[in-house]
Each structure stands twice: as structure tokens, then as C-alpha cells.
Structure 1
Amino acid sequence: MSDAGIHPSAVIEPGAQIDPTAFIGPFCVVGPRVVIGPDVVLKSHVVVTGHTEVGEGTIVFPFAVIGEVPQDLKFKGETSRLVIGKRNRIREHVTMNCGTEGGGGVTRIGDDGLFMAGCHIAHDASVGDGVIVVNSAAVAGHCVLEDDVIVGGLSGIHQFVRIGRGAIIGAVTMVTNDVIPYGLVQAPRGELDGLNLVGLKRRGVNRSDITALRAAFQMLAQGEGTFHSRAERLGSETDSDYVREIVDFVMGDSDRSFLTPT
């Protein structure tokens, strides 16, 4: 650890591992079991504590608190971790907690995420790459957010909910059930209202795949049988990898039911 990039007012507790290329700004506090990777920037007044790893190129803005103990009454002080990937932007007043023994002991954040001011990532959550969590949104314990998910401002994701890749959650929305990949969820109580077509087009998804996804959504909305049986039947009829991704998601393990098309 070099002192060159550490402001004199920062408090670095003995045992912390800080890459020489990192920058620790004024009045930051870094705990004794923290690992700060290359080119990480803690701007000022940032607290990083617990068994926390912050990946290369991540920038943490003032007054964020990273790696504190979980907000879970079952937590009894057991060793748990927070692992943050590369090139994340963690804005002002964001909180991210370590895991719990009951949830596997690790909260994981992928690469290239944007966590806007005041949002919260709870214990044992698993957040993929390229995820955006907008201002004051809250992701509860044990949630899974797959790659490229967007969670709108002031929204809440209920514990154990899974949100599939490329889905978008509108602002001021409470999500209490799983969301299929590429789904569009809005309304105060979270209704599956279509597909994230804008996101699909921005990613350059072929028109044929978008057409297949739209047909699949209609079948899930209006086909015969239960939602699960419709998805199972859809899997036997499709040759689209995107549709197959939805089918695999629905057939996978979950502690919640699904938001179904309105």
C-alpha cells in the first residue's frame, strides 16, 4: 500500500489492502478487512467496512456506506462478505450490505453497474453486469438481478425476487414476484405490461428475435393452461435463443411466483 493516493484526513485501519493506483479521498474510512483494487476512487466521506472487496476502476461518491452489517434481525455477527466487481459507479448515499449465513454469506455486485444516489442493495443480493438502480430504489435481501436490468427510481424489489436479464422496472413500482427476462413492469403494484422493446432495440437485437419475443409474450398472456405450462409448451415450439432464455427462467428454481402478463 502506497500513501501517495491517500488523503491525510482519511482513516485507513491496519490490515486494509489498498492497491497503489487507488485514490482514497478526504475523510474516508476504510476498515481492516477491506480490499481496494486498482484504480478505485473513493471521492470523500466514504465508509468501506466489513469483509468487502471493491473491484478495479470502481468510483464511490461521497457519503456512500459500503459493506456494513446486514439489516436483518437474524444476523448474529457471523463472517460474511460483499464483493463488488469492476468499473461500477456508486453514487452519493448508496448503501450496500454484506451477506448473512442464511443467504450464503455473500452479497455480489457485477461489473459496469450504475447505482444512483440513495439506492440500497441488501444482504445476499446477486446483481449482474450492466445493472442500473435509479435514485432511492431498494433491492431487498436474497434478490437476483440478472445482467442489464434497470430498476426505476423510488421502486422496491421484494426479498427473494428474481428479475431476468434485460428487464426494466418503472419508477415508483413495488415488485413482489419474479420478472421474466426482457419484461416491462410498471404500475404501483408491479404489473407485467409488455416487453422492454426499447432496450432490445438499443442492444441491436435482430428484428426476427424481437418478433419471436412478442409472439411468445402473447402466448404467455393468452394461451391455455397455467403460466408454467404455457412456458413449457413454448419451449418445445421455439428456435429463438431469446425466447428459450425466458422459458429457462420460468422453469428455474424460485421462492416467489411470477408476474404474469396483463
Structure 2
Amino acid sequence: MQEQTIELAELSGDCARCFGLCCVALPFAASTDFALDKPAGKPCPNLRGDHRCGIHTKLRTEGFTGCTVYDCFGAGQKVAQVTFGGRDWRTGSGEHARRMFDAFPVVRQLHELLWYLTEALTLPAARPVHADLSRMRERTEALTRGTPEELTALDVPGHRQEVNELLLRTSDLVRAGHGGRGRKKNRRGADLMGARLKGADLRGASLRGAYLIAADLTGADLRGADMIGADLRDADLTDADLTDAFFLTQPQLNAARGSAGTRLPGSVSRPVHWTAGL
């Protein structure tokens, strides 16, 4: 169990070992999440020469909320230090930078899958599929170590589908051990935007890909719920219980609202802005 916990901790961004790839490779459009337009491959104007953000402590007040909810799942340092051997995108030709920027989003998707597979291996109820999960995890990890050309040629949707089949089996096993009305309800992909779910019994519910944008989940019981892909932007999780909700990622929580009374699984951290009034 301890080994898996350490691996989960490694599947998060380490900006000190990256070259600000998310600030350069990815595009963003002026919106409530970003204060300006930026095309893919162009450095954000806030990115300094040392690859650090010049407004990191003021991102929310400066209109860059989208940056505060993003996590590369450790793909940034993998691409920077492994795929390209520590060679900065600022050095060499434009072709070198382009190859790095093309590889980064592919590895990011693979690392997100690694997060789910690694977490699944920590769930005792999923023991019947642990062997299959372990093999898939090793296979996915091997893919992340491909050359830039192998990465950009990879059929990521096809691989994601194979992983998802295992994660669905995992979900069924884990949710079967939870009571509550939610366990029998499949809310996969449900449109629950702005829904009034205050105090709702969602124990063991499947909320895979559910749209919970701005939903009121105050005091809701989400223990044992499958949260993979659930859109929690601006959802109110004040005093909600997500103690052993699974497949819940840090970016999902960062996009939501919560409080000191929100109970969380050990795989994620309480967002600073929940208690900082930002």
C-alpha cells in the first residue's frame, strides 16, 4: 500500500523539473478562466526566463483561474527530463521545441491514466482485477517512455478505451460494497448542472463524466462514489463527505468550492483557495 501511495504522489506536476511546458505548449482563450488569448506554442506573457510564473501567487486575482486548476499529472517533468533528456525548449531549433510541445499533451493523457490505474491498485475491493490493472499500468508506463515520434503517433483514444474497460470493472467492484440509494443509480454523463443536491445520498453512485457545474452538493454524502471525469467546476462541496470517493483528481477539486468541513480521500489535498477566500 505504501509503495502505491508514493507512486501516486509522483504523478503530480513538479514545476522545478519542468520547463513551463503547460505555459507554452497549450493554448487558452480569453474567458472567465484566462485573462487573454494565447495560441499553442507561444509562451504565456507571465512566464519568466527561469520557467517560473511571474504571478503565481496572484493567478486568481489576475484572471488566470484556469491555471490554478490545472495539473499535468507529472507529464511535464517526464517530457522535460526523460523524453528530451533535460534539454530546454528554448535551446536548439524551432523543430526541437515543436517536438516537445507535441509530445507533452500525449504524455499528459497517459499520466492521467496512470493516476487512475495506480489508485485502482490501492482499492482492496478491486483485488480481483489487480493483476490486470498492474499489467495495464506497466504497459502504459512503457508508452510514456517512447520517443517523441512514437508518442505523437500513438493511438491514445484506443489505449484509453482499453484502460477504461478495466476501470469500469474496478468501479463495479468498489461501489458494490457501499450502501445508500446512490449505489443503484447510474448517473454517468448526467446533466446535473446547477442541480440542488444538498444533503443528497450519493453513496456508491456512478458520477462518471457527470456535469455537476455549479451544483449544490452542500453536505452531500459521496462516500464510495466513482468521480472519474465528473465536471465539478464551481460545484459547492461545502461540508460534503468524499472520504473514500475514488478516481477523484486534484484538478477536479481545484475547480470546485469547498470548506474546512469538506471530508476528502487521502489521495488529494484541500485546495488553498477553499479557506483563503479566493
Bin of the TM-score, shorter chain as denominator length: under 0.3
| Structure with greater strand share of residues | 1
| Structure with greater helix share of residues | 2
**TM-score, normalised by the number of residues in structure 1:** 0.26
**TM-score, normalised by the number of residues in structure 2:** 0.25
